[in-house]
Structure 1
Amino acid sequence: MPRYFHTLMAVIVSLLSAAGISAAADAGWDKTFAKSDKVIHEKVSYPNRYGLTISADLYRPENMNQSRKYAAILVGTPYGGVKEQGAGIYAQTMAERGFVAMAFDESYNGESSGEPRHLSSPDIFVEDFSAGVDFLGTRPFVDRKRIGVIGICGSGAFALTAAQVDHRIKAVATASMYDMSRVIRKGWKDTMSDEQRNKTLDQLAEQRWKDFENSTPLLPQGFPEKAADSIPEGLDPISSEFWEYYAMPRGHHPRSHGPFTQTSNLAFMNFSLLNYIDTISPRPILFIIGEKAHSRYFAEDAYKLAADPKELVIVPGARHIDLYDRTDMIPFDKLTTFFNKNL
């Protein structure tokens, strides 16, 4: 059982754990990537159906024709990440290529509202995708019949689950997809035994009493507040990979804590994502995964379960985190072709 997984991700902690819009002009660049001079950036906010306020970064082509309507793409963050990291890279790049694109923070995380902080919910995180569609589809410059989504890492499964019931989502792409409900309930590569699962559930039940008595949920230690200059010795390969991105200058952001409240895992134990992935058809799905990604099996298995039209793209040499930010490896030409064809 990887030691540092308990610290990096809430999932591994338990395993081995438009209504009112507030918009403002760019008031400072706080991203982990360089700002493009080919797009217009705007910070926006809007409610989801639970009354929580979602914070997002909206990117539009710099030479945008205000008299026409554009196809739009909503981008979800990696699990535990924020919109200022990889999701923003995807959104800004797709805006450079002619789309209206938006990266958002999930409820309870980043700059979005919700207490307690760093809570995770499969239902609410899926809803956050539909809330983004609500917002985009009510912009005067967006064609609401041409809205697609991109989900990175954990948000890949959330995006697909949203599309199962939200027919306004016309095309879905995932990159380095994780199925969080599967890995939390069944363990890494489905190796969790019934005995281990029951022990975990007993521990989480006890934690609920502790949380209640303490008036606050237990939040495992996360990534350092300031970027580290090296990977700690003794970390397993997967934990080292996440540390390389989230804890070092490559992708570090102060709002990206990493793990979620420990009892958040109970909801994932009881809520199975992707149960109806085949019903997304005839809307298309594009799965993108790295050849060397430790998460590769999630995308390959989801691809088998999905109905046509579907496509699986394996990026040579890429690891899981490389599809977060390596613009030389992320197949943006493929994403552009996919959404131009299907939106």
Structure 2
Amino acid sequence: MAGEIHFPANFDLNKKYAGVVVSHLGNGVKEQVAGLYAQKLAKNGFIGFAFDASYQGESEGLSRYLYDAFNRVEDIRCAIDYLVTLPYIDENRIGAMGICAGAGYAINATRTEYRIQTVAGVSTWDVGDSQRNGFARKSTDEQKRLLLRDVASQRTREARGEEPLLIGYVPN
């Protein structure tokens, strides 16, 4: 994973600071909105840490641009793993913040990641709901059944050696 850490003005290596992990929106990278929020947090005395999700931006992983909801939550845990290794982070004052889809993942991470003491979402988007029910809950039950049949057929084709079907969500 690749990340950018933002420090408060007059940063003192001998002090302990609250750290906030900032997750970007579904099709973003750390240099965009998440990075701006991390900078603003730093201006308010926090350590702001924005990172690229696995498979995106400067973070590694194959297939490139893969959008994996499980890994998005795990990425937040890994970002916290990194923060707690820094001598200037107060491990009892770690927060998570996310923008759009990143907010949904940040909130999800708090369910089992007890190192997160506070969480915030900006323009929170529930990715799970939109996947289950379609954008703005417009998918009918029949459309969902057809989609699941198509997914099952594609998985069978791939199991038999066909190339994976990649559908663009995150721009190259």
Task: Determine if the TM-score, normalized by the shorter chain, exceeds 0.5.
Answer: yes
- The answer to whether structure 1 residue 65 and structure 2 residue 3 are counterparts is no
Letter in 1 for 2:171: H
Offset at 1:144? 0.4
2:101–2:127 contact (8 Å) kept in structure 1: yes
Q: For 2:53 and 2:32, locate their aligned partners in 1 and report how far apart those are by CA, in whole Å.
A: 13
Alignment-derived partner of residue 93 in structure 1 = 40
Q: For 1:71 and 1:183, locate their aligned partners in 2 and report how far apart those are by CA, in whole Å.
A: 33
Letter in 1 for 2:31: E
TM-score by length of 2: 0.92
1:137–1:144 contact (8 Å) kept in structure 2: yes
Offset at 1:257? 1.3
Alignment-derived partner of residue 184 in structure 1 = 131
- The answer to whether structure 1 residue 83 and structure 2 residue 30 are counterparts is yes
Residues 1-343 of structure 1 aligned to structure 2 (within 5 Å):
54-211=1-158, 213-220=161-168, 257=171
Alignment-derived partner of residue 276 in structure 1 = none
Q: For 1:95 and 1:211, locate their aligned partners in 2 and report how far apart those are by CA, in whole Å.
A: 46
1:211–1:218 contact (8 Å) kept in structure 2: no
Letter in 2 for 1:257: P
Residues 201-259 of structure 1 deviation map (CA, whole Å, 9 limit, x = unaligned)? 11222333455544344233x6xxxxxxxxxxxxxxxxxxxxxxxxxxxxxxxxx617x
Higher relative CO (CA 8 A, sep ≥ 6), structure 1 or 2?
Answer: 2
Letter in 2 for 1:219: I
Q: For 1:58 and 1:96, locate their aligned partners in 2 and report how far apart those are by CA, in whole Å.
A: 12
Same amino acid, percent of matched pairs: 36
The aligned length equals 171
Offset at 1:136? 0.7
Runs of 4 or more above 4 Å deviation: 209-212
Q: For 1:70 and 1:211, locate their aligned partners in 2 and report how far apart those are by CA, in whole Å.
A: 48
Q: For 1:134 and 1:70, locate their aligned partners in 2 and report how far apart those are by CA, in whole Å.
A: 16
1:75–1:90 contact (8 Å) kept in structure 2: yes
Residues 283-304 of structure 1 deviation map (CA, whole Å, 9 limit, x = unaligned)? xxxxxxxxxxxxxxxxxxxxxx
Q: For 1:114 and 1:195, locate their aligned partners in 2 and report how far apart those are by CA, in whole Å.
A: 35
Letter in 1 for 2:64: R
Q: For 2:154 and 2:134, locate their aligned partners in 1 and report how far apart those are by CA, in whole Å.
A: 20
TM-score by length of 1: 0.48
